[in-house]
Amino acid sequence: MQSNDLKARLWPALALVGALAAGLPAAANPMPVDLGSAGNFTILAKSGISSTLGTHITGNIGVSPIHATGITGSFALIADPSNQFSTSVLVTGKVYASDYAAPTPAILTAAVLDMQAAYTDAAGRPTSAANTGLGGGTIGGLTFAPGVYRWGSNVTIPSDIYLTGPANGVWIFQIAGTLDISSGVQVVLTGALAKNVFWQVAGQTNLNTNCVFNGNILDQTLIALYTGASLSGKALAQTAVTLQSNAVSSPSGGYAGSNPPGSGGVFLFPSPAKGGSVSVVYDMNGPGRAEVLVWNDRGDLVAKVEEQKLTGTQKTKVPVGGFAPGVYLYRVDIHYSGGNEVRSDVKKFAVSKLAPNTAAPPAFTGAT
């Protein structure tokens, strides 16, 4: 039986054979849209983010050029002592605004420019006549293979749609008007990953009550989530994002991680290391692949350990017996089975010279 990886590699060739057999033009799998540093945020907006209680956002959020006063509703921001970010009961991640301490303003300016560049990139991807104006803009019930699709009108999704393809498939939807998904309707992924789906929308995006939406929204205007709507992906708006008791989750990566990859945080012992290995302990919110990466003080990657892990508190041993004494940096990246990716902040540990007859590190007895 073929593995999923083999199927993913064979899928483009199989699609080509099927298309030629049917006498149809074969659709090429496009390259993903590069979000740049905007990919460090689950929600990024230029003029504000508002939410009611009941919302939960996994990942970082940010506003720029508007100040933190543009983050309104039930966020109840708590400033970090560094004044570089805030936290909120609504956010598993960090909250950034353009009036926070350096380097936050520069980071946000770059992220907004990258968001706008990604919008332009997505809007400019070429597509075929066959993939233009499908359904007259009413696309409920349709199944989409990887490719680029264009509408010069509003788009409505009154019933479930299906994105079917391999894990490396990419979907780009170009919409010149508004995008509306009806209450209770789902964007269903079959083999596809939300991180590889891009919705470029010139008008307002409306995710109506209790809908389930997948993909990264690049909107030139407003993104509005109504009561109970959920989004797996990013909401990147050139005006504002409004939320009402929503679940929004996305990999956030980069410089900005708050206590990831799980609620218990990440720690390493012993430090300084005097034996042949150190143990990195972290929480998993679900099954997936954990990667522990280690760099020396020059920025060279000196170790990478990958392991499949289950839900709960986990431990990865990293061999350091060959390391020179000094200070090292480490990070934990989690690739969850559902497609989400989370990474921890970069942390430090020390390696000292191994002394003769040094006792072995203490046995791991569980999270502390």
Asked if pLDDT for residue 251 goes beyond 80, the answer is: no
Q: Residue 199: its pLDDT value, please?
A: 98
* Strand 61-63 relative to strand 266-269, pairing: unpaired
- Those residues whose C-beta lies under 8 Å from the C-beta of residue 229, and which sit 6 or more positions away, are 207, 208, 209, 210, 211, 212, 213, 244, 246
CA 158, 164, 167, 169 torsion-angle sign: negative
The angle formed by the CA atoms of residues 199, 242 and 164, to the nearest 5 degrees, is: 25
The predicted-structure confidence for 85-114, as pLDDT tens digits, reads as follows 898 999 888 899 999 998 889 889 988 999
Question: Could you tell me which residue, 135 or 337, shows the higher pLDDT?
Answer: 135
Q: 2-10: which pairs have CB atoms within 8 A and are 24 or more residues apart?
A: 4/167, 7/166, 8/166, 8/167, 8/168
Which amino acid appears at position 62 of this protein?
Answer: G
Q: Is the pTM of this model over 0.85?
A: no
pLDDT band at 365 (very low <50, low <70, confident <90, very high): very low
Nearest residue to 110 via CA among 43, 58, 65? 65
Model confidence over 16-64: pLDDT tens digits?
Answer: 433 333 333 345 799 999 888 888 899 999 999 999 999 999 888 999 9
Confidence of residue 212 (pLDDT cuts 50, 70, 90): very high
Instruction: Return the higher-pLDDT residue of 72 and 92.
Output: 72
Per-residue model confidence (pLDDT) at position 27: 52
Question: Which is more confidently placed, 365 or 338?
Answer: 338
Over residues 307-342, the pLDDT tens digits come to 998 877 889 999 998 899 998 988 888 887 766 677
Weakest mean pLDDT among 74-83, 259-268, 323-332? 259-268
Whether residue 289 contacts residue 321, with contact meaning beta carbons closer than 8 Å, is answered with no
Cα distance between residue 252 and residue 246, in whole Å = 18
- Residue 16 is predicted with a pLDDT of 41
Mean pLDDT over all residues of the chain? 84
Share of the chain above pLDDT 90, in %: 58
Would you state the torsion angle of the CA atoms of residues 224, 228, 231, 235, taken in this order, to the nearest 10 degrees?
20
pLDDT of residue 232: 92
Asked if 261 and 344 touch (Cβ cutoff 8 Å), the reply is yes
| Lowest-pLDDT choice from 4-8, 173-177, 362-366 | 362-366
Q: In this predicted model, what pLDDT tens digit does every residue of 339-359 receive, in sequence order?
A: 667 777 677 899 987 544 444
User: Residue 247: is its pLDDT beyond 70?
Assistant: yes
Location of each CATH 2.60.40.2550 domain in the chain: 266-351
Domain 266-351 class in CATH = mainly beta
